[in-house]
Each structure stands twice: as structure tokens, then as C-alpha cells.
Structure 1
Amino acid sequence: MFAKEGADVALVARTQAKLAAVAKNIEALGRKALVIQADLSKEADTATVVPKTVEHFGKLDVLVNNAGISPAGSLTEGTVLQAYDEVMKTNVRAVIQLTSFAAPYLAKTKGNVVNISSVVALRPCKNPELLPYFVSKAALDHFARCAAVELASSGVRVNTVKPGPVDNDFNSNNSLGDPKVIRQTLIDATLQGFIATNEEIGGVILFLASDKARSITGCNYVMDNGWTMVSHE
């Protein structure tokens, strides 16, 4: 979607095949794609992302922090700390690290950051095994607000998109059960009776990253098909 609007894009993920497929689509639109294979749970990998991007493109306009994992762990089973440490490395620490590295370059371009959080940050966790994930997204939300305050004097905006259920492979790869059952459960939990698409979420990210949103910073955009308005007892 960014490439369609004329952007060159650095792509960061663990899976080479997926990176290559997206890069091919971007190049088919006449834009440049830089593939960076990295595991953002590893500090050394994360540290390479911004330098490689700036070296290749000469600047940085937008940072989209989208990587996220959801390991299971609960208080009563004694697995919460292991899951917490794992999820925080990717969902929060990597975001802070990338934003810190990106900030000087974004200040030069008057660019911005868009963080991908989740509506689970707004409600207590009903499934005990998802507690670490819920906590990580709440932490991410507050980091974004604090970062917006600190970076405002540099002309850098920081905003957050909070999806509810989305029809993508984050849910289909979930280790908590049958993907079809999980998908239907997510649909049933919404007010509208359907869940968002990647393109719908991407459209809001693109808006927040654009000059059309120049007056928006420190904000959380909820896109959840009414999930937060339905009782989940």
C-alpha cells in the first residue's frame, strides 16, 4: 500500500520467503524494496535495521512497528514469566530500540512512527494464557504516548493503531487451537459480525503516516468492529 503511494520500503521479518514475495509485489509497482531478514527479539538483529535502511535509501520518513508475537503463559501454571520475557522482547523492547535508532533520522525528515498495538490493551484478559500479550500491548500504548511527547519538539509524530480481530495468518498460526474455530470465535465476538482485513488496517496506517494526519500525534485509533463494545464474559 505504501508502494502504491510512491514509497520505497524496507521490509523486516524472520521469514525469507514471505519477505521475497512482498518485495516482488513492491518492485512490480516500480518502487524499491529492501529486504532485511531479522529476528526482532534479538538486540543485535534489531540494531541493524535502521542503519541498513538509511544506508540503502539515504533517509527514513516512516517507521511502522508491526512485529508481534503471542506466546502462552499463565500465573497459575507457573509459565507466565517465561512467556512475559519472550513477548516483551519483541512487542515492546524492539519497538523502543527501533524508535530510538530511528528518531534522529525522522527528525531530519519530519517523519513519524506508527505502532501496531491491539484492543486487548483496553480490557482485562479472560484467557489466562494470553496475559503476557495483553500486558505487552498496554505497555506499547503508553510508550507511544510518552514517545509522542518527547519527539514532538523534533517535529516527529507518534501514533498507534489498535486492531481488534483481523483476518490474517497471525490468527491462523495461533497455537491455541483450530484456526477455523478461532476465526469464527473472533467473528462472533464483534458487534458487526465480521472482522477486519489487512487492507483496512493498512489504510489507517497509511493515513496516519501521511501529511493528511499532520495534526495527529499521541493518538490511538481503534479498529475492532465493535469488539470492545460487546460483553466477553
Structure 2
Amino acid sequence: MSLAGKVVIVTGASSGIGATTAEEFAKQGSKVVLTGRNEANLKATEAACKAANSKVELLLITADVTVDAERIINSTIDKFGQLDVLVNNAGYGEGGSILDINVDQYDRIFDTNVRAVFLLTKYAAPHLIKTQGNIVNVSSVAGLRSFSDLSVYCTSKAALDQFTRCIALDLASKNVRVNAVNPGLIVTKFYQGFGISEEDYVKHLEYSKSTHALGRVGQPKEVADVIIFLASDSSSFITGATLPIDGGKHAMCPR
């Protein structure tokens, strides 16, 4: 897939889609920068990457994307001297009706899902221009469709989708591609952040079989495989795309 030797940053690499994506880049022979807030989980991802490719070159950066964007990019350049792919995977969500939520929730969600992506993209862009690299943003079907009690999260992902398209146009003349993936319900620990109990989560997974046209929920590798595709030369004529990986959920209009 033309990714051997490429320097790749994966934010939110400590779990879920990010951890699996980092492992898949390691299999491709990429040099992978793993960033996340949980150092223990990052080390688990590191071990998985090494198990996938014993010769993989890795850099672990324990960091919070909302405050450490410049350090993440600078540390990558200091270590590897270049940057080829930025995967903006780190995300955050909370639920609640507009009658109950407050501005602090808005700020927490937008700081991670939009502002941090802006900063990482801003600092990474000059380096990506040098390598004619690319960016893959991890958005959500929530950016494409509307859901009650998720207004701020949905709005942040819609903003990320529009940001993806606009930056794709900004950087097209520099041969830097920018795309996004929009997962449906993927089996990860992400939903714990919404305050859902394990019992309710299991029920929600079962219910979600009916809200995804293929009759099931997704697995992290199904998203990681598409991220790999978009980061590689196999997608050399794709930019500004927001690609649903959601078993057809975005196309459904349940009654």
C-alpha cells in the first residue's frame, strides 16, 4: 500500500480505533507515532505494534491533543525528520438534551473534536507539504445525521467534516490530500465516556443491529482498513471526501 517507511502520527492511539489503526500502519512498515493521554494503554498499543512487526520504529508521546498539539508535531520531526500522514483520531463525546447541558460540555467536546484538529493540522501542514503527504480525520456518522441528546457531539463532527473539505481545498495545490472517515457504532470503549453502564451498552449494541442496514455493528479494524487506504497511494485521486463506515446507517430513515 506504499506506506513502508512513511512517518505517521495517530492521535488517540491508546485504545479503540486509534490503537487498531496504529497496529495496521505497523504492519505496513510505517514509522508510527503513538499519542494519547493514558501511558499504560499507549504501551499496550506499542506492544501490539511490535507483535505485528518486530522491526517497526515507534515514538510514544503521552499527550493531550487539546494542549500539546505543537509538541506532538515538533517531537515527531525531532525524532524522524519528516511527517507523511496525520491521523486525527482522538475524539470526545458527552450526551444530554439542550435543556440540561451547559457551555462547559460544549467547550470540552469542541476543544478535542475541532480545535485540537485545527491546531494539529496547522502545525503539521508545512511538513506534509514537503512530503506531499496527507491527513485522515476520524469523524462520525453523527456528523452526517442528527440524533437527539447528542447535539454538541453531532455539531462538532459536522464541523470536522466541513473542516476536512475546506482544508482539502486549501492544500490541494500542494498535493496534500485531506479526507475523513465517518464510523457508525464501532465496538470500542468510547461509549463509556457517555456515562452508559456496561449493561446498557450491551443492550445498545443489540438494538443497534436494527439501526445499521447490514444488521450488525462494526469492528475497529473495519475502520482502520479504510484509514490505511485513504493514507496510501491507492487513494491518490481522493480528497475532500467524508466516507461513511457505518453498515449503511447514514442511508437509513427509520420510521
Q: What's the TM-score, normalizing by structure 2?
A: 0.85
Structure 2 partner of 1:226: 248
Question: Structure 2: how far apart are the matches of 1:131 and 1:80?
Answer: 12
**1:68 lines up with 2:91 in the alignment:** yes
SS in structure 1 of the partner of residue 109 of structure 2: helix
**1:46 lines up with 2:66 in the alignment:** no
Letter in 2 for 1:176: I
**1:137 lines up with 2:157 in the alignment:** yes
SS in structure 1 of the partner of residue 224 of structure 2: helix
Structure 1 partner of 2:3: none
**CA RMSD across the alignment:** 1.4
Question: Could you tell me which of 28, 33, 37 is aligned with 2:62?
Answer: 37
C-alpha contact (below 8 Å) 2:92/2:193 kept by paired residues: no
Question: Structure 2: how far apart are the matches of 1:98 and 1:232?
Answer: 37
C-alpha contact (below 8 Å) 1:172/1:180 kept by paired residues: no
Question: Could you tell me which of 14, 30, 50 is aligned with 2:37?
Answer: 14
**1:125 lines up with 2:147 in the alignment:** yes
Question: Structure 2: how far apart are the matches of 1:210 and 1:121?
Answer: 24
C-alpha contact (below 8 Å) 2:132/2:175 kept by paired residues: yes
SS in structure 1 of the partner of residue 83 of structure 2: coil
Q: Identity, % of aligned pairs?
A: 41
List per-residue Cα deviations over 1:142-169 (Å, max 9, x = no partner).
Answer: 0000100111111100001011111111
Question: How many angstroms does 1:69 deviate by?
Answer: 0.6
SS in structure 2 of the partner of residue 63 of structure 1: strand
Letter in 2 for 1:96: F
C-alpha contact (below 8 Å) 1:73/1:83 kept by paired residues: no
C-alpha contact (below 8 Å) 2:168/2:240 kept by paired residues: yes
Letter in 2 for 1:186: S
**Misfit runs of 4+, over 3 Å:** none
C-alpha contact (below 8 Å) 1:80/1:132 kept by paired residues: no
Question: How many angstroms does 1:89 deviate by?
Answer: 0.1
Output aligned runs, 1:69-108, within 5 Å.
69-77=92-100, 79-108=101-130
SS in structure 2 of the partner of residue 154 of structure 1: coil
Question: Structure 2: how far apart are the matches of 1:80 and 1:72?
Answer: 11
SS in structure 1 of the partner of residue 240 of structure 2: coil
Structure 2 partner of 1:165: 185
Change (3 A) 1:224 1:51: same
Query: Unmatched 5+ residue regions in structure 1?
Result: none
Structure 1 partner of 2:216: 194
**1:146 lines up with 2:171 in the alignment:** no
Question: How many angstroms does 1:46 deviate by?
Answer: 2.0
Question: How many angstroms does 1:100 deviate by?
Answer: 0.5
Question: How many angstroms does 1:232 deviate by?
Answer: 4.3
Question: Structure 2: how far apart are the matches of 1:135 and 1:150?
Answer: 22
Q: Give the structure, 1 or 2, with the largest relative contact order (CA under 8 Å, sep 6 or more).
A: 2
C-alpha contact (below 8 Å) 2:244/2:250 kept by paired residues: no
C-alpha contact (below 8 Å) 2:93/2:193 kept by paired residues: no
Output aligned runs, 1:167-182, within 5 Å.
167-177=187-197, 178-182=200-204
Question: Structure 2: how far apart are the matches of 1:229 and 1:215?
Answer: 24
